[in-house]
Structure formats: C-alpha cells, structure tokens
C-alpha cells in the first residue's frame, strides 16, 4: 500500500516521465527538421529563380549553333518556327556553297568530269564564286549587320538558286564529283553537303518550307555573341553562343564572369582535317589546345566543364571508310575502331586539366539527333543544378 503511494506521489511514474521527455524531444526535432526543410526549399527556389549562366565554347564548325537550335526546338515557346522562313535562304546558300566547294576540289585534283556535257555546268558553278561572297550566312541566318545588304538580296539568292538547280543536279550525279566528295577532308566541305544535295528536288520546290531536320543540318556561321534564354525544369538558363573563329575569340573574355558551367564543343570528325585559317595545323589538335586554355583559366577554377565530343556519326563513318587516326595522331595505339579511338580522344582532352581534381563531364554527341540531345540536355540540367546546390552549401 505504501509502495503504491510512493510511486504515485506526483501522479507520474519515472518511466512515464522518460516517455514524456522523449516525446517532447521527438516533437522538437520534427519541428526543427520541418524548419530546416522549409529553409532548404526556399533556398533551392531562390537558386532556381536566380537561374544559371552557361557558355557554349569551341572552335568554329563544332556544332555550337546546332545545340542552340536543339534547345529552341525542345524548350523554346515556338520551337524553330520563328526562323523557318529565314532558313529557306540559308539552305539554298548551303547547297550552292557545297557544289561550289566540290567543283573547286575537282579543279584542284586535275580530274576530268565523267560526262563531258557537264563542262557547261562546271562553268556555271565557277561563276558562283564572286557572287556568293556578297552574301553572309551568319547567326540564325540573318546577314551580318557589319556587311551591307540590300533588302532584295533574299529574292536574288532564291532566283540564283533556281537557276542553278539543273547544274547542281547534273554535277552531283557525275561520278567524278562523287569521287571528290568521297575524299573531301581537305576541302572544308560542310558535313550536311550530302544531306542537302541528295534532296535538291525537294529544296527546289517553290512551296518548300524547311523542316526541323533541314534547320538542324543548315550551316550558320556565328559572327557575334548571342544570348538565349530557356526555361528547363523551372530553371532559367541564360546561354551564350560565341563565334569560334580565331579572330573572334578575343570577344569571349567579357562573358567569363559568374559562369555556372561551360559546354565545350569538339568535332571528333575533324581529326583528319586542317584548320580553315592555318592548313599546317590539324583541326582537332587546335581544339585540344583551345580546351587546355579554357580548362585551366583562372576564372573557371570553380566552373563545371561539360565536354561534348560531337559529330560522332560523321566520325564513325570516317573510321569505317578506313581513314586511320594514327596518321594524324601518331601517339595513338590501338585498333582504328570507335571504342578505342573515342577512349583515346576523351583521354587527350581530360589530360589537359592541370587540376587533376577538376570534374569534367563528358558526353559523346550527335547534335543533329533530337532524341539523343533531349536525353543529354536533361543530364546537363541535373549536373548544373547539383553543382549550384553544392556551391550554395545545400549539398
């Protein structure tokens, strides 16, 4: 009886008090965790609202503008519709430039046309050289503002293209021109030449409107820095595309501040090509040297680098055609197949980083393939957001 009275003197047993304290502590922790979760969510939201700044860098003709076209197609409000009619002009100019380049290659080779009657078409194309210089295929297909351009030029280009169609068709069907095409590495021929030349009748239709694939394949030379804004997974991205020619790289520096990530573009298919402005230098070797300067730049010490080893479709075709990597990169040891050569080139780029701890995210890309680029853009977004959270102390 007395022991019962002692145990209930204040109405609570020792074990009950312990349970009460544990319950209170658990409640306090739950409240603290909820507050932490709320603060974290707010900080993540602010991080998203602040957005991300990306630079797309690399030499010319590596696919930088093609990646931007894919972003417009995947995340732009109107896709590529706003530029569709403008690209009609670009496609026509691309076709004329392609046949002109092949005819120049024919003359340089000393090879005769298979069909003598095509000589008249060769003369017609030779007159294109001075005419095409008047036209500028620059950023998103519009004329370079630094180059005077009459408002009637677009119609003049279209009329010129229609006049050229019979010559283009006849020459592209000539076996000698086809032989030049098969060995065109040194001609600086655009990668989409065959795509467009095989479709000449479709492109010559008076009602022709460029498809998404046509726009992705069209070659556009970027002569200025352009800013593009995209919303990807509720994050605002400001992406800057810059001209890759040597003469334009001096304009890159002002855009280096406060960059979250750099997408560095490489054309793997250029391993057997000389630089356009210096034929003594291999195009891919020059790309490696440029990557070295970017990867080790003091402003990019804490900047993520995403390496796009691009044009793998063209690269694989060259390997299958038997063009040996070792001829242009003597230190390569291994079979001339896709697995061995891609591993070699990936290593060549990664070893440029003096900081061995620097994270470089590599993707093998085919920038004109929308399905592949959709997957890669999602992966890039995850990388950028993870790095943003880590830099903000949230990871």
Task: Please indicate if the annotation marks 216 as binding a ligand.
Answer: yes
Q: Is 217 annotated among the ligand-binding residues?
A: yes
**Are the C-beta atoms of residues 21 and 12 closer than 8 Å to each other?**
no
Q: Is 138 marked as binding a ligand?
A: no
130 is in an annotated binding site: no
85 and 155 Cβ atoms separated by less than 8 Å: no
143 carries a ligand binding annotation: no
219 annotated to a ligand binding site: yes
Is 222 annotated to bind ligand? yes
The reply to whether 61 sits in an annotated binding site is yes
124 is annotated as contributing to ligand binding: no
Q: Pick the closest to residue 86 from 213, 210, 201 (CA basis).
A: 210
Q: Any binding-site annotation on 381?
A: no
Q: How far is CA 354 from the centre of its chain?
A: 25
Has 310 been labeled as part of a binding site? yes
Check: CB of residue 75 under 8 Å from CB of residue 230: yes
Q: What angle do CA 145, 150, 156 make, to 5 degrees?
A: 120
Residue 288: exposed, middle, or buried by beta-carbon count in 10 A (0-12, 13-18, 19+)? Answer: middle
220 known member of a binding site: yes
Please list the residues that pair with 52 across neighbouring strands.
237
Q: Where in the sequence numbering do the catalytic residues fall?
A: 61, 66, 219, 241, 245
Instruction: Judge whether 105 is annotated as a binding position.
Output: no
Please state, in angstroms and rounded to a whole number, the distance separating the CA atoms of residues 134 and 122. Answer: 20
Smallest CA-to-CA distance from 56 within 212, 228, 213 is with 228
Burial code (b: 16+ CB inside 10 Å, e: under 16) for 258-285 equals ebbbbbbbbbbbbbbbbbeeeeeebbbb
Binding residue ranges? 61-66, 191-192, 216-222, 241-245, 310-313, 367
Binding residue ranges for Mg(2+)? 65, 222
Binding residue ranges for GTP? 61-66, 191-192, 216-222, 241-245, 310-313, 367
């Amino acid at each position: 009886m007395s022991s019962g009275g002692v145990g209930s003197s204040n109405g609570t047993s020792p074990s009950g008090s312990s349970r009460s304290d544990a319950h209170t502590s658990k409640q306090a922790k739950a409240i603290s965790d909820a507050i932490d979760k709320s603060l974290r969510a707010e900080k993540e939201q602010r991080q998203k609202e602040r957005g991300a700044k990306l630079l797309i860098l690399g030499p010319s003709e590596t696919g930088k503008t093609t990646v931007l076209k894919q972003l417009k197609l995947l995340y732009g409000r109107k896709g590529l519709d706003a530029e569709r009619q403008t690209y009609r002009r670009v496609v026509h100019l691309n076709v004329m430039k392609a046949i002109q380049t092949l005819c120049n290659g024919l003359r340089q080779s000393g090879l005769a046309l298979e069909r003598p009657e095509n000589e008249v078409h060769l003369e017609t194309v030779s007159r294109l050289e001075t005419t095409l210089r008047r036209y500028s295929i620059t950023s998103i297909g519009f004329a370079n503002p630094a180059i005077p351009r009459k408002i009637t030029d677009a119609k003049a280009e279209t009329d010129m293209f229609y006049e050229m169609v019979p010559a283009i068709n006849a020459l592209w069907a000539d076996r000698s021109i086809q032989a030049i095409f098969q060995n065109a590495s040194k001609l600086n021929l655009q990668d989409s030449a065959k795509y467009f030349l095989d479709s000449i009748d479709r492109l010559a239709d008076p009602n022709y409107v460029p498809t998404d694939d046509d726009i992705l394949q069209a070659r556009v030379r970027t002569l200025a820095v352009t800013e593009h804004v995209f919303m990807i997974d509720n994050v605002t991205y400001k992406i800057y595309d810059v001209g890759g020619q040597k003469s334009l790289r001096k304009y890159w520096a002002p855009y280096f501040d406060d960059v979250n990530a750099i997408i560095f573009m490489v054309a793997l298919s250029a391993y057997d090509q000389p630089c356009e402005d210096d034929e003594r230098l291999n195009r891919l070797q020059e790309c490696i040297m440029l990557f070295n300067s970017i990867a080790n730049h003091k402003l990019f010490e804490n900047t993520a680098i995403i390496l796009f080893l691009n044009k793998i479709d063209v690269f694989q075709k060259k390997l299958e055609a038997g063009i040996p990597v070792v001829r242009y990169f003597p230190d390569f040891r291994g079979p001339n197949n896709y697995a061995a050569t891609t591993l070699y080139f990936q290593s060549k780029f990664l070893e440029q980083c003096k900081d061995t701890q620097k994270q470089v995210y590599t993707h093998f890309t085919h920038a004109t393939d929308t399905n592949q680029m959709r997957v890669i853009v999602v992966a890039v977004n995850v990388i950028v957001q993870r790095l943003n959270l880590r830099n903000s102390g949230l990871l």
